[in-house]
């Protein structure tokens, strides 16, 4: 059976685990549409800790806030403002 000896890396903690002891992760939230996909993996403890909310619009919100283009503080400020209104403590 596939996965019995294959090992994968958990994208959250980096631990190497057997494929059969890992959970598939699809950043687009559509793990059932398998055509042409390469999945990433999470170990079981990291998968259990994962918040499983809908991700519709997340990629667009990250890009609009400058993900990977501005420093962390600026990104977080933009992201919170765009998705939740002004962050607490800002005037």
Please state the pTM of the whole predicted model. Answer: 0.50
- The pLDDT, as a whole number, for residue 91 is 41
Which of 79, 7, 91 is closest to 41 using CA atoms? Answer: 7
CB atoms within 10 A of CB 3: 12
Coil vs helix vs strand at 19: helix
CB-neighbour burial class of residue 24 (10 A; exposed 0-12, middle 13-18, buried 19+): middle
Cα–Cα distance, 63 to 75 (Å, whole number): 10
* Lowest mean pLDDT across 22-31, 63-72, 80-89: 80-89
What average pLDDT does this structure show over 76-88?
Answer: 77
User: For 30-78, how does the pLDDT look when each residue is reduced to its tens digit (9 = 90+)?
Assistant: 667 777 778 889 999 998 887 766 677 888 889 999 999 999 999 999 9
10 pLDDT exceeds 80? yes
Please indicate whether residue 14 or residue 4 has the higher confidence score (pLDDT): 14
Q: Rounded distance, CA 4 to CA 19, Å?
A: 7
**What's the rounded mean pLDDT across residues 18-39?**
79
């Amino acid at each position: 059976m596939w996965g019995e000896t294959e090992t994968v890396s958990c994208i959250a903690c980096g631990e190497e685990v057997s494929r059969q002891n890992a959970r598939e992760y699809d950043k687009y939230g559509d793990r059932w549409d398998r055509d042409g996909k390469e999945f990433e993996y999470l170990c079981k403890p990291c998968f259990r800790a994962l918040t499983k909310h809908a991700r519709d619009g997340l990629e667009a919100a990250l890009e609009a806030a400058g993900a990977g283009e501005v420093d962390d503080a600026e990104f977080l400020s933009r992201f919170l403002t765009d998705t939740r209104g002004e962050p607490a403590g800002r005037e």
